[in-house]
């Protein structure tokens, strides 16, 4: 054996040890890499699960939102067929009042002023309560309520006062009757607010027309008629102006002076502030172009001129002619009927269509955000699995929608 043999053996052992050490290091490093890879894969899996959970949650929230919105639409759709008791009562009262008034006019005209009083005792306190609740009670100081109170004072307390009769007759046929056109009063039987407004503005001239032309032996019940076979235009207009100025001074002191801060802050609404906010009306646009510090004066002067001009037909034509008085009342009533038809068809009949269009736009926006290209109405059909939602049964916004005429609609007529 040569001397190199032990060295070779030693070298081989050293090589084997190094190879074994290297193999263990590689194995250890491989195990560490494997562990890191498993941890990374686990974290990635967990992150993916979280993302999937968030996505599922968002989809579920979206479906719940769509379901709630569609349920609201369907509820609104069905509520148009099941009118609330309050609106049924208003509809019943309005229709029956019209029927009873027509029967009284033909069969017992001496009871018309009694019906006027009973209707006022029911509707006016109800309006005072609702307007106070809605913070609209400054409208109760307007001229129409002032004239209505004067009418009741004349009918039941001062029927022999000629000056008061002239004021009530001319203002009822003037400012009150013309307000049906000015304020767009509507014959909407299911809306108690609109019924009340129409009652205030049209029943007063109807009552005084009956008293003047159709009341049997009216001079016995209303002695003022004995001294007024015809109206003196100068005296009548003077009395109307005086009555109006008394009201205007009281209104100016009570509203524009004592409660100016509430009006300017927007806490309360008056006829002037309403007209200024109504940009579609000619009066509001004209007032909006005037100086703010002069608007109240211009408005009061305009009201005075309007009241005088509106009373001219009563002074020169209506007081002497039953035929023209009847034509006048029919014309005013026809305007209210026309406005009521416009409310049912053009306003209320489109309400559901606007809600449905808003829903479709909301769905389209959600689709754009989620990257979809087609409306998910097929997905919406299965949302919530509620038996009350039937997307296919919902009307298209391009098709006319039939709405029950008795559906509730809370909207201020003025």
Q: What is the pLDDT of residue 162?
A: 97
Asked if the structure places residue 309 within a domain, the reply is: yes
- Who's near 281: CB < 8 A, 6+ residues apart? 275
* Confidence bin at 148 (pLDDT 50/70/90): very high
Asked if the structure places residue 273 within a domain, the reply is: yes
Q: pLDDT tens-digit profile of 220-261?
A: 999 999 999 999 999 999 999 999 999 999 999 998 888 888
Quote the percentage of the chain above a pLDDT of 70: 71
Q: pLDDT tens-digit profile of 84-137?
A: 777 888 889 899 999 999 999 999 999 999 999 999 999 999 999 999 998 889
Q: pLDDT tens-digit profile of 301-355?
A: 999 999 999 999 999 999 999 999 999 999 999 999 999 988 888 776 677 677 7
Q: What is the pLDDT of residue 376?
A: 47
Closest by Cα among 159, 414, 162, 210 to 325: 210
pTM: 0.68
Asked if the structure places residue 27 within a domain, the reply is: no
Asked if the structure places residue 377 within a domain, the reply is: no
Q: How far, CA to CA in Å, does 297 sit from each of 154, 179, 248, 252, 287?
A: 31, 21, 11, 10, 11
Vertex 345, ends 339 and 349: CA angle to 5°? 135
Name the residue range of residue 329's domain.
80-352
Asked if the structure places residue 38 within a domain, the reply is: no
Mean pLDDT over the full length of the chain: 80
Kindly give the interhelix angle for 351-370 and 4-79, rounded to the nearest 10 degrees.
170
- Who's near 236: CB < 8 A, 6+ residues apart? 166, 170, 311, 315
Quote the percentage of the chain above a pLDDT of 90: 45
Asked if the structure places residue 363 within a domain, the reply is: no
Asked if the structure places residue 55 within a domain, the reply is: no
Asked if the structure places residue 231 within a domain, the reply is: yes
State the total domains in the chain.
Answer: 1
Q: pLDDT tens-digit profile of 254-294?
A: 988 888 888 878 788 888 887 777 766 677 777 778 888 88
Q: What is the pLDDT of residue 122?
A: 93
Q: What is the pLDDT of residue 118?
A: 96
């Amino acid at each position: 054996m040569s001397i190199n043999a032990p060295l070779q053996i030693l070298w081989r052992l050293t090589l084997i040890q190094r190879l074994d050490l290297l193999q263990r290091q590689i194995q250890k490093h491989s195990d560490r890499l494997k562990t890191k890879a498993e941890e990374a894969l686990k974290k990635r899996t967990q992150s993916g699960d979280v993302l999937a959970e968030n996505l599922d949650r968002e989809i579920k929230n979206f479906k719940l939102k769509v379901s709630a919105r569609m349920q609201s639409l369907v509820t609104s759709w069905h509520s148009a067929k099941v009118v609330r008791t309050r609106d049924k009562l208003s509809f019943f009262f309005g229709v029956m009042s019209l029927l009873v008034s027509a029967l009284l006019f033909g069969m017992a005209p001496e009871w018309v002023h009694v019906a006027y009083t009973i209707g006022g005792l029911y509707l006016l306190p109800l309006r005072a309560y609702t307007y106070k609740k809605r913070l609209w009670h400054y409208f109760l100081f307007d001229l129409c309520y002032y004239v209505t109170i004067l009418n009741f004072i004349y009918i039941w307390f001062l029927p022999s006062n000629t000056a008061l009769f002239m004021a009530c007759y001319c203002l009822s046929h003037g400012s009150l009757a013309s307000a049906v056109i000015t304020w767009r009063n509507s014959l909407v039987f299911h809306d108690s607010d609109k019924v009340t407004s129409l009652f205030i503005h049209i029943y007063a001239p109807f009552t005084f027309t009956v008293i003047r032309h159709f009341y049997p032996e009216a001079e016995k019940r209303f002695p003022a008629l004995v001294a007024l076979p015809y109206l003196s235009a100068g005296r009548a207009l003077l009395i109307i102006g005086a009555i109006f100025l008394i009201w205007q001074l009281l209104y100016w002191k009570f509203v524009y002076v004592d409660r100016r801060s509430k009006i300017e802050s927007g806490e309360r609404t008056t006829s002037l502030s309403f007209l200024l906010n109504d940009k579609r009306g000619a009066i509001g646009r004209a007032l909006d172009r005037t100086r703010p510090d002069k608007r109240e004066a211009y408005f009061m002067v305009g009201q005075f001129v309007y009241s005088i001009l509106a009373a001219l037909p009563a002074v020169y034509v209506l007081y002497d002619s039953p035929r023209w008085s009847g034509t006048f009342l029919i014309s005013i009533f026809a305007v209210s009927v026309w406005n009521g038809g416009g409310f049912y068809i053009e306003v209320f009949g489109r309400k559901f269509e606007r809600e449905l269009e808003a829903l479709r736009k909301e769905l389209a926006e959600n689709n754009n955000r989620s990257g979809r290209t087609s409306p998910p109405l097929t997905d919406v059909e299965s949302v919530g699995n509620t038996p009350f939602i039937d997307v296919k049964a919902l009307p298209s916004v391009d098709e006319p929608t039939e709405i029950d005429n008795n559906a509730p609609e809370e909207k201020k007529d003025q």
